[in-house]
Amino acid sequence: MKPRRRQRLLLVSLLVAGVAVAAGLALLALQENINLFFSPSQVVAGEAPANTPFRLGGMVVDGSVRRSDGSLEIQFDLTDTAKSVTVAYTGILPDLFREGQGIVAQGSLGTDGIFNATQVLAKHDETYMPPEVTEALEKAKAMGVQ
Amino acid sequence: MSNNSANWLTRFHRLGSPPSFYHLAGALLPWVALLCIGLFAAGLYGGLVLAPADYQQGESYRIIYIHVPSAWMSMFVYAVMAASSAISLIWRMKLAEAVARASAPVGATYTFLALVTGSLWGKPMWGTWWVWDARLTSELVLLFLYLGYMALVAAIDDRRTASRAGAVLALVGVVNLPIIHFSVEWWNTLHQGPTLTKFDQPSIALNMLIPLLLMAGAFKFHYLYALLARVRIEILDSERRTAWVNALVSQRPS
Amino acid sequence: MTEFFQMGGYAMYVWPAYAITAAALIITVISPLRRRLRMLRELSAIAAQRDIHRSE
């Protein structure tokens, strides 16, 4: 390789490396702000901001969904398997909302420890399967066959 | 050994020479088009007709067959653009400049499609058109990188200066690619994690996966077609004063 | 057939996504073909003009 080309190669590598380091440091500094939501554990530990709206993410606890008759009011518990927080919400839920589903709720924490959500978003997993396959898998699991 | 590598280099150089690339690309285009259309036909039939509905998302998941290939291509095209920018800066190869310039609008199109189809998928499934999570935001930044590149190259009159300025911008933006890819692992996001590019088994049923791969192939050939067609124009434009272009246009009945 | 077009109730999301994609993909391959023809016409006009000048 000719020296001039080697020099240019070095310059290009330095440019990319420099930008990568700068971006890495910036992202590291912003780490917490880039996360979309707080987990129930963080909320219980008091890490979530008080008095300002934030997002709370977790799984809907099985059997925790309580609907009130004749209105769109709903209460359910969100968990990250360690801690859980009760969420109250009034409105239309996304199609994917169900027990065991990942959910991101926007709202604020009341003094009673209940999270009052103004918006509920469903987070789906990265698995794509036909319904028959999941049924078969669940049946197999129920029968204790792996 | 050195003789062999010198031979290879000359062949590479000849291929990289504008007139031979122009003609080679012209000969390849119909075949690329044929492959692309065939893959699209197979992928669309497999994805829209043969593949079963998803256990969670029902029929709405079928947007995956255009959303995921668009998103993959938005990053792949940027990688091509950045690599050819590096080559054009280091070796001053004209063809590499043409590839970078020709890739930008195509990559911007894929990025736009990834964002729009993702939004149309997000509304029924997540319950929102848009959320400022790390994956969506970094993909939007990618769109702005493409648009910034195109604006910068268009704003500078001198061709080679424009290409060089664009190349530096393209290389600066390359840091965004790993951020897009790993955003769903580094931070918590509304967007789900990777289905195929994780190290354990892909979590998608085979009869859903095959159409997805066919569509990904179709998008690859679509890019190849658009790239070759655009590089030919870049070549004609930059070589307009040369003897071979003159011979080419005077052969044509006007 | 109608069932296919209804997409399990998600037609208003699935079909626009496919339509926008089809339109964008077609435009990205058609526009360079048209631009090339225009450029060839332009260049051959320039060449013809130059030939006239030369013959004068």
Domain assignment present for A16? no
Instruction: Render pLDDT for B139-196 as a digit per residue (tens, 0 to 9).
Output: 999 999 999 999 999 999 998 899 999 999 999 999 999 999 999 888 888 888 777 7
**Interchain CB contact of B74 with C (< 8 Å):** no
**Interchain CB contact of C5 with B (< 8 Å):** no
Please name every residue paired with A107 in a beta bridge, in sequence order, or none if there are none: A54, A117
**Does the beta-carbon distance from B236 to C36 stay under 8 Å?**
yes
Cβ-based contacts of C17 with chain B (< 8 Å):
63, 66-67, 116-117, 120-121
| Sequence-ordered list of residues with C-beta below 8 angstroms from that of B28, at least 6 positions apart, any chain | B228
The upper half-sphere exposure of residue A114, i.e. CA atoms within 13 Å in the direction of its Cβ, equals: 10
Cβ-based contacts of A16 with chain B (< 8 Å):
171-172, 174-175
**Does the beta-carbon distance from B233 to C35 stay under 8 Å?**
yes
**Interchain CB contact of A125 with B (< 8 Å):** yes
Domain assignment present for A116? yes
- Report which residue type is found at B141: V
- Average pLDDT (B60-71) is 94
For residue A43, give the 3-state DSSP assignment.
Answer: helix
**Does the beta-carbon distance from C44 to B249 stay under 8 Å?**
yes
Residue C21 pLDDT > 90, yes or no?
yes
How far apart CA A113 and CA B64 sit, in angstroms, is: 39
Point out the residue among C9, C17, C35 whose CB comes nearest to the CB of B117: C17
Residue B254 pLDDT > 70, yes or no?
no
Report pLDDT for A101: 84
**Inter-CA distances, A108 with A49, A51, A71, A122, C49, Å:** 9, 7, 21, 18, 74
Entry field: residues in chain C:
56
| CATH code, A53 | 2.40.50.140
Cβ-based contacts of B129 with chain A (< 8 Å):
none
Token pair 């959303």: residue: B67
Residue A1 pLDDT > 80, yes or no?
no
Residue B154, number of CB atoms within 10 A of its CB: 12
**Does the beta-carbon distance from A126 to B189 stay under 8 Å?**
no
Cα of B54 to nearest chain A Cα, Å:
5
Q: Which domain holds residue A101?
A: 40-123
Report pLDDT for A48: 82
Residue B245 pLDDT > 80, yes or no?
yes
Percent of chain B scoring above 70 in pLDDT: 90
Spell out the domains of chain B, with CATH numbers in brackets: 20-251 (1.20.120)
Query: What confidence category does residue B1 fall into, taking pLDDT thresholds of 50, 70 and 90?
Result: very low
Domain assignment present for A98? yes
Query: What confidence category does residue B15 fall into, taking pLDDT thresholds of 50, 70 and 90?
Result: low
- Average pLDDT (B21-39) is 95
Token pair 């066959």: residue: A145
- Report which residue type is found at B64: I
Nearest to B190 by CA among A145, A57, A95, A97: A57
For residue C56, what is the DSSP state?
-
Query: What confidence category does residue B230 fall into, taking pLDDT thresholds of 50, 70 and 90?
Result: very high
Nearest to B148 by CA among B173, B130, B123: B173
Q: Which domain holds residue C46?
A: 2-55
How many folded domains does chain C comprise?
1
Domain assignment present for A1? no
**Interchain CB contact of B254 with C (< 8 Å):** yes
**Inter-CA distances, B87 with B90, B154, B225, Å:** 5, 20, 22
Instruction: Render pLDDT for B111-125 as a digit per residue (tens, 0 to 9).
Output: 999 999 999 999 988
Cα of C10 to nearest chain B Cα, Å:
6
Q: What sign results for the dihedral spanned by CA atoms B132, B65, B205, C2?
A: positive
Among B99, B230, B245, B248, most C C-beta atoms within 10 A, so best to mutate, is B230
Consecutive H or E run containing C29:
helix C11-55
Query: What confidence category does residue A113 fall into, taking pLDDT thresholds of 50, 70 and 90?
Result: confident
Stated pTM of the model? 0.90
Residue B138 pLDDT > 70, yes or no?
yes
Report pLDDT for B253: 56
- Average pLDDT (B123-147) is 93
How far apart CA A133 and CA B218 sit, in angstroms, is: 28
Report pLDDT for B249: 85
Percent of chain B scoring above 90 in pLDDT: 64
Residues 107-126 of B with CB under 8 A from C: 109, 112-113, 116-117, 120-121, 123-124
* Joined tokens for residue A36: 């979309």
Percent of chain C scoring above 70 in pLDDT: 96
Report pLDDT for A146: 42
Nearest to A57 by CA among B189, B118, B132, B131: B189
How far apart CA B139 and CA B132 sit, in angstroms, is: 11
Report pLDDT for A71: 80
Report pLDDT for B6: 64
For residue B26, give the 3-state DSSP assignment.
Answer: helix
Quickly list DSSP for B169-213. Answer: HHHHHTTHHHHHHHHHHHS--SS---SSSSSS--SB-HHHHHHHH
Query: What confidence category does residue B98 fall into, taking pLDDT thresholds of 50, 70 and 90?
Result: very high
**Does the beta-carbon distance from B240 to C48 stay under 8 Å?**
no
- Mean pLDDT taken over chain B: 90
Residues 75-114 of A with CB under 8 A from B: 93-96, 104
* Joined tokens for residue B194: 């990777």
Helices (H), chain B: 2-16, 18-44, 64-91, 94-125, 134-155, 159-173, 176-186, 206-238, 243-251
Nearest to C7 by CA among B195, B205, B57: B57
Cα of C37 to nearest chain B Cα, Å:
9
Domain assignment present for A15? no
Report pLDDT for A112: 84
How many folded domains does chain A comprise?
1
